[in-house]
Structure 1
Amino acid sequence: MNGNAQQGFGYRARRTFTRLLVFTLILGLGGVVVFLLSQLNARTFTLALQDGQLVVMKGRNAPMGALPYRTGDPRLADAYAPIAIEGQDVSTLLTRKFTDRDELDQALFPVLESLARPRIASDEPARVDQGLYYLRRAEKLSGITEEQRLTLQKHMVDVAYYQARQKLEDARRLVSEALTQLKLAAESQSRNARSANQMLTAVSPPARDLEEALRRAVHSLSGPQAAPRQPTPAEPQQAAPAAPQPAPEAPTPQPETTGKALDEPAQGTTGTDAGGVIQPPPSGAF
């Protein structure tokens, strides 16, 4: 009787231990699965549409769920800030999941580029500023492809003239403000009045010339250039009257070369012909 009771107790103990072991294994495997799913979800990025803005979402450290992405690098905060899509079709992006940030960067670049392209082609400074803002955000995306990087460089070249013009205007304003402050300090009774007066005397003429050159470059030389003047068609010139041709000269008479002229002997020169004086005959002739 006692043996059967001990045998039944041992059987129940083994069965309970087996069940506890199986439950522990199942619980452990479930914990491992939950941990792996949480790690995978924590590295997953998605895009959501909220109040007309495209928001970057990052998975929570849980099997599911996501929160707006907040990067730990302040320099990248602007790159992943919400984007006003302004009526663009982003439905395909809302269904995708990105397992790393490079894939996210490559998906965000076309959105920023399509917002910047029409603005940098505008002649309005305010719209160009907006386009430059989107280009600078795209420039901070480190995971874009080489083709996307070349496209970004092309757009930056397009706005280089506008940036240079803006910097020249800023330089002109800074020079003007510096001269005004130096003049104010030189006319005061402060301990720096003498130094300010010396500086103003030294830099005022070239600074004024520089300010005028910057103003001319920004407001005159950078304006729309006049179209080149088309040359007026030249009036047809009347042909000059031809000069009268000289009359042909009369032919010079040639000596006769007939047979009669050749047969006659040549006549001697007479006295008269020789010099116009008749020579006397020699004395032996009489």
Structure 2
Amino acid sequence: MAPPPSSAAGKPDFPWWLAVAAAIAAFLAVQIAINDLYSQIFTVVSRGVWITIFVTLVGFVLATLFGLLLAVMGLSNSLALRQTARFYVEIIRGIPILVLLFYIAFVGAPGFVIAWNALMSPLIEAGVIGELLVRDVSLLWRAIMALTIGYSAFISEVFRAGILAVDQGQIEAAKALGLTRLQRFRLIVLPQAIRTILPPLGNDFIAMIKDSSLVSVLGVADLTQMGKVYASGSFRFFETYSIVAYVYLLLTVGLSLGLRALERRLRNAEAERGAGERH
């Protein structure tokens, strides 16, 4: 995340955009409080906020773990692992999230059910477990898996860049101290890489909040779907989607400001540590 632009005097510009955005947000908050229509729309739409948050958090955690695994595979000494990771990343990054969502929901899930029933056929025939049906795999988890698969490819590249940015001299020093490959990665490489990848990783998280709205095409009752249902029944499209956009902006802009503050705090802490080492 780039530092804020500075004026000719070298001081950061006053965030007028934030002041205007805050004024608009306050105005809409007042409208929601005093206007019965806006209040009703907000009440209905806000029921989907927790689904949006759940889909984003679970999907992002899984995508981060899978992305880290792909990054490690892509930097391994094994040619097979490197090519497998590169194949996955290049193919998945070339597929739009919406197409991937449909594919996982209507092709991947039925395929998984067929494979599961074939694998568990002895237990199913013995009556130990029941046969798995496609409808048993909820649309919510199909959507989460689609976001996980889609974003893991992008996050793996973020991790790979962060790992490669670590000074090779420190890794060599760790080798000289007798640390194993896993210890070097856990104690030396990963902690330093995290500081590098935090801004782009935060951007991916914000992007996933917005892309989570795509799960509404599967009928998942998220923020967008609740707005769509209300608007189609009341024909109050302007008011409804204004509230939907307002809630998304509260989530994304608030998170963006929080990430900037965290990044600034880490940068200041690193500068103070460097100054202390020089003295």
TM-score range, shorter chain: under 0.3
Q: Which has the higher helix share?
A: 2
Q: Which has the higher strand share?
A: 1
Which has the higher Rg, Structure 1 or Structure 2?
A: 1
TM-score normalised by length of structure 1: 0.22
Higher relative contact order structure (alpha carbons within 8 Å, sequence separation ≥ 6): 2
TM-score normalised by length of structure 2: 0.22
